[in-house]
């Protein structure tokens, strides 16, 4: 490859950025031509290509990439100092190619229509709406906890292996698809991340590899959260980039399962989001409702808090700050706080779906 060609390819990142911003300013077009057009073809092909592999191809790819970068710096560190322009050319070329692949394979989903517009419901809610919703969810959660453990003071234990949870998650998507056709999921690629321990220290339950379209799940997370996290990451595979949207999808799909443990995993997770939101809005109402929880449900929350507490470290806020910046740079105005924005989706969708179940 000639130097001129490398220069052109490196500089091509500029028109790429301009195009992404221009195209992204028309979410209806992104929805029609990308999210519902070329993306499903690309994602299904990638899952067909890598989904059958029992381990994470994407994690291996990232590992090799890091070692390649370290090797390059070791072998050519001196020449980088002597010929900085050549280094910048190679760096620009690499970034340009990565940028192109990222937005072609998955990244344009950041600019699609919000899921509530696609499903035609509002996201605004009042304190009264939230209190009513939370009360009903507490009632359902308490009842299901007693049904599973026959004792209101016992924490629910999900008696499944990670593989069994993945299998039931796929069944849940099959059931959800009957009501929501756009949740169709074929060529599954749901795997435990090889980097589950680092993910735990960073405070994450999983991630989607945009280059291989593998749903990576943090396999160290307690079983109570694995169902909704697994369904959440599949939501990303379906082309939903917003964390609030994939939280919504994950909880909705998990609740669609016939399995009562999956329903409890979903409804207790819904309740956790609601209680967190209510505590920030009205601490008096939060205390009153929290006291209505069965002791067993409270024990489940304590177990989850204890799990994450043992991995707290000074670097976690740094990683979350970086991810927050990344989300905001990709049309996610609320950044990392969009995880809890799922409450608006749940409260408004509740009357149309949850009450009926």
Task: Supply the Cα-derived Rg of the chain in whole angstroms.
Answer: 22
Rounded to whole angstroms, the Cα distance separating 50 from 284 reads 50
pTM metric for this prediction: 0.91
Instruction: Report CA torsion sign: 227, 260, 269, 231.
Output: positive
Largest distance between two CA atoms of the chain: 73
Q: Write down the mean pLDDT value for the chain.
A: 90
Rounded to whole angstroms, the Cα distance separating 188 from 51 reads 6
| In the predicted structure, residue 357 carries a pLDDT above the cut 50 | no
- pLDDT bin (cut points 50, 70, 90) of residue 89 is confident
- pLDDT bin (cut points 50, 70, 90) of residue 72 is confident
pLDDT at 350: 67
- pLDDT bin (cut points 50, 70, 90) of residue 355 is very low
More confident residue, 79 or 163: 163
Q: What is the mean pLDDT of residues 89-96?
A: 89
Rounded to whole angstroms, the Cα distance separating 253 from 170 reads 9
Rounded to whole angstroms, the Cα distance separating 332 from 112 reads 11
8-40 pLDDT tens trace: 888 999 999 999 999 999 999 999 999 999 999
318-349 pLDDT tens trace: 766 776 676 666 666 665 555 567 888 899 88
Residue ranges of the alpha helices (H) in the chain? 3-11, 13-24, 27-29, 39-50, 57-82, 84-105, 115-119, 127-149, 162-179, 196-202, 226-237, 243-255, 260-281, 283-290, 295-309, 316-329, 342-349
Tokens of 178: 């009957």
Rounded to whole angstroms, the Cα distance separating 46 from 208 reads 12
* CA 25 vs CA 201, 212, 246, 331, 334: distances in Å: 36, 26, 22, 10, 18
Q: Which of 100, 320, 322, 319 is nearest to 211 (CA)?
A: 100
Tokens of 128: 């009264």
Rounded to whole angstroms, the Cα distance separating 211 from 65 reads 13
pLDDT at 162: 94
Are 41 and 125 in contact by the 8 Å Cβ rule? The answer is no
More confident residue, 269 or 90: 269
* CA 62 vs CA 43, 124, 220: distances in Å: 19, 40, 20
Q: What is the mean pLDDT of residues 275-300?
A: 95
Instruction: Report CA torsion sign: 143, 149, 151, 152.
Output: negative
């Amino acid at each position: 490859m000639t130097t001129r060609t490398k220069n052109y390819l490196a500089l091509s990142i500029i028109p790429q950025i301009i195009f992404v911003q221009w195209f992204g300013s028309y979410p209806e077009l992104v929805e029609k031509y990308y999210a519902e057009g070329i993306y499903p073809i690309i994602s299904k092909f990638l899952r067909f290509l890598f989904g059958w592999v029992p381990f994470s191809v994407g994690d291996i790819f990232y590992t090799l990439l890091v070692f390649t970068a370290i090797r390059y710096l070791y072998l050519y560190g001196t020449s980088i100092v002597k010929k900085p322009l050549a280094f910048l050319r190679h760096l620009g070329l690499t970034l340009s190619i990565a940028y192109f692949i990222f937005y072609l394979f998955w990244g344009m989903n950041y600019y699609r229509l919000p899921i509530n517009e696609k499903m035609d419901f509002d996201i605004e809610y009042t304190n009264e709406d939230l209190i009513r919703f939370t009360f009903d969810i507490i009632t359902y959660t308490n009842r299901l906890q007693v049904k599973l453990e026959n004792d209101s003071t016992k924490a629910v234990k999900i008696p499944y292996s990670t593989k069994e949870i993945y299998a039931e998650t796929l069944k849940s998507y099959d059931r959800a698809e009957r009501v929501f056709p756009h949740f169709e999921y074929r060529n599954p690629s749901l795997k435990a991340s090889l980097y589950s321990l680092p993910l735990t220290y960073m405070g994450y339950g999983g991630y989607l590899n945009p280059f291989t379209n593998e749903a990576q799940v943090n396999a160290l997370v307690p079983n109570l959260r694995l169902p909704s996290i697994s369904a959440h990451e599949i939501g990303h595979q379906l082309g939903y980039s917003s964390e609030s949207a994939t939280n919504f999808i994950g909880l909705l799909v998990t609740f669609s399962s016939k399995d009562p443990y999956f329903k409890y995993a979903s409804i207790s997770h819904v309740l956790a989001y609601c209680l967190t939101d209510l505590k920030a809005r009205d601490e008096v109402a939060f205390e009153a409702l929290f006291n209505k929880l069965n002791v067993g449900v409270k024990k489940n929350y304590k177990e989850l808090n204890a799990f994450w507490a043992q991995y707290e470290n000074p670097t976690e806020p740094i990683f979350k700050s970086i991810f927050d910046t990344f989300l905001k740079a990709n049309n996610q105005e609320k950044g990392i706080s969009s995880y809890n924005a799922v409450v608006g989706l749940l409260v408004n969708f509740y009357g149309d779906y949850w009450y009926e179940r």
